[in-house]
Homo-oligomer: A and B are copies of this chain.
């Protein structure tokens, strides 16, 4: 069965998004710098159709985020929406959106198809696993969805990319998740970030 994994960037004070998240500021105000380790990378720039960029110890983690999965369960979703990404979203595989509002699937360019799941996180995971085949299922950023999968014991692997910034407020990943047991699998030093991989213990 394919693994459900989460790649998420966390400030050293524990936040995965800043305060006042909105469509304009999907990561919250002031939290764009969470991804300062990711954005300059060649792997990231290529995925956005741009040339150049850095290659460093973060590259395998960026490649994993950008291309490793066979299906995605994304974070918060606005009702009548096609996501943040325009007509050609960066997924290029089936995406299972948790929502309370039934809606027909949405075919996007580049192989991305949004499916809207109204019957809960386990159903979304089952459908995503079926779609992912041999590949992993990626849980998109968004503390609340991640917390639900973590608390339910359904998350197999988490890569926490710890960055040396303090947000001072916002959404925490590891909150309201109950008695979760994790095991450290590896940690990797990279410029301006430490990637720590955990498995469910």
Q: Which residues of A contact B (CB under 8 A)?
A: 12-14, 160, 162-166, 168, 172, 174-175, 177-180, 182-184, 186-189, 192-194, 196, 198, 201
User: Do residues B172 and A13 form an inter-chain contact, with CB atoms below 8 A?
Assistant: yes
User: Do residues A186 and B184 form an inter-chain contact, with CB atoms below 8 A?
Assistant: no
Q: Which residues of the partner chain B approach A14 to less than 8 Å between Cβ atoms?
A: 13-14, 172, 174
- Tell me the complex Cα distance, A201–B182, Å: 31
Q: Which residues of the partner chain B approach A194 to less than 8 Å between Cβ atoms?
A: 184, 187, 194, 196
Q: Which residues of the partner chain B approach A196 to less than 8 Å between Cβ atoms?
A: 12, 162, 194
Q: Which residues of the partner chain B approach A201 to less than 8 Å between Cβ atoms?
A: 164
Q: Give 15 A-B contacts (CB < 8 Å), ordered by A residue.
A: A13-B174, A13-B175, A14-B172, A164-B182, A164-B183, A164-B198, A165-B182, A168-B178, A184-B193, A186-B189, A187-B188, A187-B189, A187-B194, A189-B189, A194-B196
User: Do residues B189 and A12 form an inter-chain contact, with CB atoms below 8 A?
Assistant: no
User: Do residues A189 and B188 form an inter-chain contact, with CB atoms below 8 A?
Assistant: yes
Q: Which residues of the partner chain B approach A168 to less than 8 Å between Cβ atoms?
A: 178-179
- Tell me the complex Cα distance, A184–B190, Å: 9
Q: Which residues of the partner chain B approach A174 to less than 8 Å between Cβ atoms?
A: 12-14, 166
Q: Nearest 10 A-B pairs (CB), nearest first?
A: A13-B174, A14-B14, A187-B194, A187-B189, A164-B182, A164-B184, A194-B196, A166-B180, A164-B198, A166-B174
